[in-house]
Structure 1
Amino acid sequence: MRLQVAAGSALIGAGVAVNDYVQSPVRRAISYGALALSGATVIAMGQDPTGERSIIAKDSATMVDQIRQEIGDLGVTPGPESDVDAITERGPLVTWLLLAVFVVAFFTLAYFSMRMDVAVMRRIAKFFEKRGASRPFTCTGMVYAAFIYAICELEARTK
């Protein structure tokens, strides 16, 4: 698990450092995609607590059962009568409107979250640049990687 966290933290740091080494926005996007694919590979090939080396279960029925347990058997077993009545009273129009509001809110929050992250990243890079760093985004990437690793380590110790 620690190896996965360390590799993931290093990939996040490398993603921030890409700004120092790749100037073209298209090449930078390709670099981010390659790093994301590398991160997915690290997670997929890491060992789980049982010692298995893949995130996909060998038995598909077991995997489907695990997914159902994770989401609370959503769509498999009916919920309490009060939930069913509330859904039927609202109708499909209200349901679709609520879904649309959720999607818009999700993308709005994601957009502002990314904008804030970029602003913080640039501020930290300017801090390093003022202190004479020739590759300020690389230094910022190290700060990001250390921060992510520390958070994941803290979470693992509290479990």
Structure 2
Amino acid sequence: MRMQVAAGSALIGAGVAVNDYVQSPVARAVGYGSLVLSGAAVVAMGQDRSGEKYLFSADSATMVDQIRQEIGDLGVTPGPESDVDAITERGPLVTWLLLAVFIIAFVALVYLSVRLDLAVMKKLAGFFEKRGASRPFTCTGMVYAAAVYAIFELEERTK
């Protein structure tokens, strides 16, 4: 598990450092995309504490059962408290409106968080640049990677 987090932290640091090494926005986007795919591969191929694959279980029936239990067996056992009755009471228009509100709120939050992250990243890179760093985003990437790994270690120690 620690190796997965270390690899993920390194990928995050590399993603921040791309700004120092790639000038073209298109090439930078390709670099970010390849780092995201690499991170997804690290997570998908990793194992949990029991030694099973983290995302892809060997037994698909067990995985489906675990997913059903986590979502509360929605739609499996209809009754007065079932999700089916809630949808038919409100109607499809209300359901689609709620979904649209959720999507709009999600996109807005992602946009704001990315803008905040970019502002913090540029401030931190400016700090390193004022202190004479020739590659300020690389230094910033190291800070990001160390912070991600430290948060993981802190979470592991509190479990």
TM-score by length of 2: 0.91
C-alpha deviation, 1:41, in angstroms: 1.6
CA distance in 2, matches of 1:145, 1:74: 39
| Alignment-derived partner of residue 89 in structure 2 | 89
Partners in 1 of 2:116 and 2:140 — Cα distance? 15
Hey, what does 1:35 align to over in structure 2?
35
Which residue does 1:3 correspond to in 2?
3
In structure 2, what is the equivalent of residue 138 of structure 1? Answer: 138
Counterpart of 2:149 in structure 1 is: 149
Deviation at 1:158, TM superposition (A): 1.3
Aligned partners of 1:51 and 1:74: how far apart in 2? Answer: 29
Moved more, 43-52 or 94-103: 43-52
Any conservation in 1 of the 2:6–2:149 contact (CA below 8 Å)?
yes
The answer for the alignment partner of 1:116 in structure 2 is 116
Describe the shift of the 1:116–1:54 C-alpha distance in structure 2 as closer, same or farther (beyond 3 A): closer
After superposition, what is the alpha-carbon deviation per residue over 1:34-67, rounded to whole angstroms, capped at 9, x for unaligned?
1111111212222221123563112211121122
Aligned AA for 2:132? G
CA distance in 1, matches of 2:90, 2:42: 45
Amino acid of the residue matched to residue 13 of structure 2? G
What are structure 2's unaligned runs of at least 5 residues?
A: none
Give the equivalent residue in structure 2 for 1:60.
Answer: 60
Matched, 1:22 2:22: yes
Residues 1:121 and 1:80: Cα distance change in structure 2 (over 3 Å): farther
Q: Could you tell which deviates more after superposition, 36-45 or 71-80? A: 71-80
- Structure 1 distance, partners of 2:82, 2:55, is 37
1:129 and 1:14 map into 2 onto residues whose CA distance is: 18
CA-CA distance at 1:80 after TM superposition: 4.8
Stretches of structure 1 lacking an aligned partner (at least 5 in a row): none
Deviations 1:10-30 (A, max 9, x none): 110100000000111111111
Aligned sequence identity (%): 79
Match of 1:73 in 2: 73
Matches of 2:82 and 2:54, distance apart in 1:
40
Deviations 1:88-132 (Å, cap 9, x if unpaired)?
A: 332221111111111101101111110111111001000000110
Give the letter for the 2:109 counterpart.
L
Query: In the TM superposition, what is the alpha-carbon distance from 1:69 to its structure 2 partner?
Result: 2.1
Q: How many residues were matched structurally? A: 159
Q: Distance in 1 between matches of 2:45 and 2:90?
A: 45
